[in-house]
Amino acid sequence: MSEHHITPLKTYLIIAASLLFLSGVTVWVSYIDLGSFNIVLAMFVATVKASLVAFFFMHLLWDDKKNLTMFLMSLMFFGIFVTITMLDTGFRGDLGLNPETKDPINKRAAFYDTLPLTDTHGHPVDEHHEDKDHH
């Protein structure tokens, strides 16, 4: 099948070296406290690495673009999935329906036999009054 693209050996080696280098970078920056920017940077580096894998190792760069379209569609649906779910879970507190403060889901974990129940901020939750504003 002579029409197949054969990627030069050098390309593979450069991509692998870049991936290893970026892995080191992402570990290194994780030890620097940048606040909420840490996660943004970590995800940016991960996405650069993922793109290198997809375009070079998985040959998407040289493939018929229908394959890339399929891949991007999966990411698009992932985006829709996250967005719509977060529109729910991100705003439950506004309605006084925060499930994890009202009803901690940890009651059956073995170590809670000896620990007081707490809310998301670690403040103690009184088990007997948690349902008082139940609608």
Partner 1 sequence: MGHHNPDSPTHLKHYFHDVNQQYETSKFAMWAFILTEVLTFAGLFVAYIVYRSWYPDMFVDAHKLLDVNKGLMNTIVLITSSLTMALAIWAIQKNNKKLSVVMLVATFIFALVFLGIKYLEYTHKFEVGQLPGEFYSYMGPDAAHLNNPHIFFSIYFIMTGLHGLHVAIGMGLIAWLIYSTQKGNLTSEYYTPMEMIGIFWHLVDLIWIYLFPLFYLIG
Angstrom distance (rounded) from CA 117 to CA 10: 57
Least CB distance from residue 127 to partner 1, whole Å?
15
For 121, counting Cβ atoms within 10 Å of its Cβ (0-12 exposed, 13-18 middle, 19+ buried), the class is: exposed
Q: Which two tokens stand for residue 107?
A: 């009651």
Residues 30-69: x/- map of binding to partner 1 (CB under 8 A)? x--x-x--xx--xx-xx--xx--xx--xxx---xx-xx--
SS3 (DSSP) at 124: strand
Least CB distance from residue 49 to partner 1, whole Å?
5
Q: Which two tokens stand for residue 106?
A: 């940890």
SS3 (DSSP) at 121: coil
Which residues here bind partner 1, judged by CB under 8 A? 1, 3-4, 6-7, 9, 12-13, 15-16, 19-20, 23, 26-27, 30, 33, 35, 38-39, 42-43, 45-46, 49-50, 53-54, 57-59, 63-64, 66-67, 70-71, 73-75, 77-78, 81-82, 85-86, 89-90, 100, 104-106, 108-111, 114-115, 118-122
